Amino acid sequence: EAGVAQSPRYKIIEKRQSVAFWCNPISGHATLYWYQQILGQGPKLLIQFQNNGVVDDSQLPKDRFSAERLKGVDSTLKIQPAKLEDSAVYLCASNAPRGGLSDEQFFGPGTRLTVL
C-alpha cells in the first residue's frame, strides 16, 4: 500500500513570510497527525484530526499556525507569519483504520522548513 505522502520535501522562506505544507495519509486512515520536529528533539504533536474534526490542538500555536482537513482525507498545515524558531521538520502521520491509542502511527518523509 502507498505510504503517507507529504509535499514539499524542502522549503526555504524568509521570516514573516507564509508557508503551507500538504499531507495525504494512507487510504482509509481516519486519524491524521501533524508534528514539529526541531533538530535534536523528538517530534512534538501540533494537531490531531479524526476524520475532518480536530481531536487535540492544545500544542498548536494558534496565533500563527492553522491546519485543516477538509473532506477527512488530505490535510494542510499553514504558518503565517513564519518566525526563525519555526525552522524544523514537519511530519505528518496517520493511524490504522481504528485510530486508537494502541495503534502505531505511519509517518511521511517530512517537510524540512528553513526560515531565514
Partner 1 sequence: AQSVAQPEDQVNVAEGNPLTVKCTYSVSGNPYLFWYVQYPNRGLQFLLKYITGDNLVKGSYGFEAEFNKSQTSFHLKKPSALVSDSALYFCAVRSYASGGSYIPTFGRGTSLIVHP
Residue range at the interface with partner 1 (CB under 8 A); choices 13-21, 55-63, 68-76, 79-87: 55-63
Cell of 67: 491546519
Spatial separation of the C-alpha atoms in residues 25 and 37, rounded to whole Å: 18
Instruction: Look at the block and give the residue holding cell 531565514.
Output: 116
Classify residue 16 by burial, with Cβ atoms within 10 Å: 0-12, 13-18, 19+.
exposed
What is the closest distance, in whole angstroms, from the C-beta atom of residue 34 to partner 1 in the complex?
12
The residue from 56, 62, 80, 85 that contacts partner 1 (CB under 8 A) is 56
Does 91 interact with partner 1 (rule: CB under 8 A)?
A: yes
Binding site for partner 1 (CB under 8 A): 4, 33, 40-45, 48, 56, 58-59, 91, 93, 101-102, 104-110
